C-alpha cells in the first residue's frame, strides 16, 4: 500500500470527472473504489468519524441515472467528498472532537455542503478534526508513517484524501489547519481569502480568522472544489460579496511566467535543514524554468505576528467556550482548554489593539509583495513530527491572521515524509494564486521525472 506525491489521473477529481462524463466509469464504481480504500486504510489511518455508506450509494445511483438521462452537473458530478467534523451535514452528528457533542445531530447542511450537493458531489461522511479545531492531537495517523501526526486540525480530511478514501475533502483553518495537514500528508490544500467561502453551519473557533477551504490531490482539483463552494452567502454576516473567479476555466488557459517573492529571514531561519534544502531546490527549478525570483520579507518580525494571532484566537474562542467550559470542564482536552483560559484573561483593550494590528498588517503586508505575483515559503518548518503533536503552525498563522489566500503543494520527501511549498497571494486574488501554483506544480513534477 504505497502513496504517491504525484497521483495518476484516475486518482484525481479532474481525471475521474472526465471518465464519468464520457461514461467510461459509473458514479457507483467510483464510490465503491473509495469505499474499498476506506476498508483498506481506515483501521490504521482512522480518518473518519462517521460514514454514510447507504446515503452515498443512493446518491451515486441517482447521479448515474441523471447522467443517463442527459443531466450532468459538471466536474463534481458523482465525486465522493469528505467533510470535516466541525461542518454540519444534515442527519449526522457534528461532534467537533467532543464526546458530549457526539450525539448532536445537525438539522440542516452547512452552506458549503449545500453547494457541494448542488454541484453534484457525493457527501461521503465526516472526517476527524482535532477537538474544536484546536491543537490537541487527533486519533488520525499520518498514512506515510503511522507513528507521525497527520497535522491538525483538518487531520482526517488530509489523510482521507492522501489515501484515496475520498477524492477531495473540505477542511478549515484558523492557524494552519488546512496547510499543515495537507503538507504533512503529501496533498494540496487551499486556504481561500477570509470571507470567500461561507462559514454558516461551521462550528467557530475564532470568527475573524476562520476559513473554510479544499484539500485535494492537486491544484486543478482544488480549483474544481473552490469553484463550487466559493461565493457570497447572504445568510453569513462575514461572507464577502467580492465576485469569485472561475478558477477551473482559468486553468485551461495558457499560464504566464510567474513572479515569485521568496520569503527570507524567519522563514529560512526557522525551517529545518531538509525543508530549507527542498525549498531552495524547488525555487531553483522554478527559476531555471523561467520564473522571475526575488527576495521578500515581512514588514514586521514573525514573532510579533504569532503573538497577536494567538491573542485574537484565544479571546474569540473564549467568547464561545466560556460558559460551556464552566459547565463541562472534563469534556475539554488540554490544549483547547489552555487556549480558552488564556482568552478569558485577555483585556478588552488588548484584544482591540490586536484587532487594529490585524487590520493594519493586512494592509501593510502588500508592501512585501513588491511587484511579485505571490510570496513563497515552506509550508511547514519540517516534516510531520511524532503523533503527540499536530506540528508547528508558525509558517501558516500569518496568512490566517491577515486573511490572505494560500496554496500548498507537495514538492519532496524527507525520510519518507512529505514536504510542501506554500504560495501566498493578495486578498481575493485566487485567480493569480491558482495560475501560479498550477504552473509551479507542473514545472516541479516535470523536473522530478
Distance CA 356, CA 128 (A): 34
Please count the residues of the chain.
449
Q: Report yes or no: 81 and 152 within 8 Å, Cβ to Cβ.
A: no
153 is catalytic: yes
DSSP string covering 58-118, please? HHHHHHHHHHHTT----TTTT-EEEEETTB--TTSB--TT-STTTT-B-SS--HHHHHHHH
Count the Cβ atoms, other than its own, within 10 Å of residue 319. 15
List the catalytic residue out of 153, 379, 394, 397: 153
Which residues make Cβ contacts (< 8 Å) with residue 231, sequence separation at least 6? Answer: 115, 197, 198, 244
Q: Report yes or no: 7 and 162 within 8 Å, Cβ to Cβ.
A: no
R_g over Cα of the chain: 20
Mutual angle of helices 273-288 and 430-448, in 10-degree steps = 100
155 is catalytic: no
Up-side HSE of residue 309: CA atoms within 13 Å toward CB? 25
List the catalytic residue out of 84, 239, 317, 400: 84
Buried b (16+ CB within 10 A) or exposed e, 124-161: bbbbbbbbbbbbbbbebbbbbbeebbbbbbbbbbbbbb
By CB neighbour count within 10 A (0-12 exposed, 13-18 middle, 19+ buried), where does 165 fall? buried
List the catalytic residue out of 177, 208, 397, 400: 177
* Cell numbers at 280, concatenated: 531552495
For residue 138, the 8-state DSSP code is: P
Distance CA 340, CA 129 (A): 18
Residue that the C-alpha cell 454514510 belongs to: 52
84 is catalytic: yes
What helix, strand, coil percent values describe the chain, rounded to 5? 45, 15, 40
Question: How far is C-alpha 323 from the chain's CA centre?
Answer: 30
Q: At residue 365, what are phi and psi to the nearest 5 degrees?
A: -65, -20
Beta bridge partners, 412, equal 419
Q: Report yes or no: 376 and 423 within 8 Å, Cβ to Cβ.
A: yes
Q: Which residues are catalytically annotated?
A: 84, 153, 177
Amino acid at each position: 500500500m504505497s502513496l504517491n506525491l504525484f497521483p495518476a489521473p484516475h486518482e484525481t477529481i479532474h481525471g475521474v470527472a472526465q471518465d464519468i462524463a464520457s461514461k467510461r466509469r459509473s458514479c457507483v464504481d467510483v464510490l465503491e473504489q473509495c469505499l474499498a480504500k476506506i476498508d483498506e486504510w481506515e483501521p490504521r489511518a482512522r480518518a473518519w468519524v462517521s460514514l454514510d455508506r447507504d446515503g452515498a450509494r443512493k446518491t451515486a445511483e441517482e447521479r448515474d441515472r441523471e447522467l443517463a438521462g442527459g443531466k450532468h452537473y459538471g466536474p463534481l458530478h458523482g465525486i465522493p467528498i469528505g467533510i470535516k467534523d466541525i461542518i454540519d451535514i444534515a442527519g449526522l452528528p457534528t461532534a467537533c472532537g467532543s464526546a458530549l457533542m457526539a450525539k448532536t445531530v445537525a438539522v440542516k447542511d452547512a452552506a458549503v455542503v449545500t453547494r457541494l450537493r448542488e454541484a453534484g458531489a457525493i457527501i461521503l461522511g465526516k472526517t476527524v478534526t482535532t477537538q474544536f479545531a484546536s491543537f490537541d492531537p487527533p486519533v488520525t495517523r499520518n498514512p506515510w508513517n503511522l507513528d507521525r501526526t497527520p497535522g491538525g486540525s483538518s487531520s482526517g480530511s488530509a489523510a482521507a484524501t492522501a489515501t484515496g478514501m475520498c477524492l477531495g475533502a473540505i477542511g478549515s483553518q484558523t492557524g494552519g489547519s488546512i496547510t499543515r495537514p495537507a503538507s504533512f500528508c503529501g496533498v494540496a490544500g487551499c486556504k481561500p481569502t477570509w470571507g470567500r467561502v461561507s462559514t454558516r453551519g461551521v462550528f467557530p473557533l475564532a470568527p475573524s480568522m476562520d476559513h473554510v477551504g479544499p484539500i485535494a490531490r492537486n491544484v486543478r482539483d482544488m480549483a474544481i472544489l473552490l469553484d463550487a463552494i466559493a461565493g457570497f452567502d447572504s445568510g453569513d454576516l462575514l461572507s464577502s460579496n467580492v465576485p469569485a473567479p472561475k478558477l477551473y476555466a482559468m486553468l485551461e488557459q495558457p499560464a504566464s511566467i510567474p513572479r515569485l517573492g521568496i520569503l527570507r529571514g524567519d522563514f529560512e531561519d526557522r525551517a529545518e535543514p531538509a525543508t530549507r534544502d527542498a525549498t531552495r531546490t524547488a525555487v531553483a527549478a522554478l527559476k531555471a524554468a523561467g520564473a522571475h525570483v526575488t527576495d521578500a520579507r515581512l514588514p514586521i518580525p514573525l514573532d510579533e505576528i504569532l503573538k497577536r494571532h494567538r491573542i485574537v484566537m484565544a479571546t474569540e474562542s473564549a467568547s464561545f467556550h466560556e460558559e460551556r467550559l464552566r459547565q463541562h470542564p472534563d469534556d475539554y482536552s488540554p490544549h483547547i482548554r489552555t487556549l480558552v483560559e488564556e482568552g478569558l484573561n485577555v483585556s478588552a483593550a488588548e484584544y482591540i489593539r490586536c484587532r487594529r494590528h490585524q487590520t493594519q498588517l493586512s494592509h501593510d503586508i502588500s508592501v512585501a509583495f513588491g511587484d511579485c505575483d505571490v510570496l513563497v515559503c515552506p509550508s511547514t518548518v519540517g516534516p510531520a513530527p511524532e503523533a503527540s503533536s499536530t506540528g508547528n503552525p508558525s509558517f501558516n498563522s500569518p496568512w490566517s491572521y491577515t486573511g490572505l489566500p494560500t496554496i500548498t503543494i507537495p514538492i519532496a520527501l524527507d525520510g519518507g515524509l512529505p514536504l510542501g511549498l506554500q504560495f501566498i497571494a493578495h486578498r481575493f486574488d485566487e485567480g493569480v494564486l491558482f495560475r501560479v501554483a498550477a504552473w509551479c506544480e507542473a514545472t516541479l513534477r516535470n523536473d522530478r521525472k
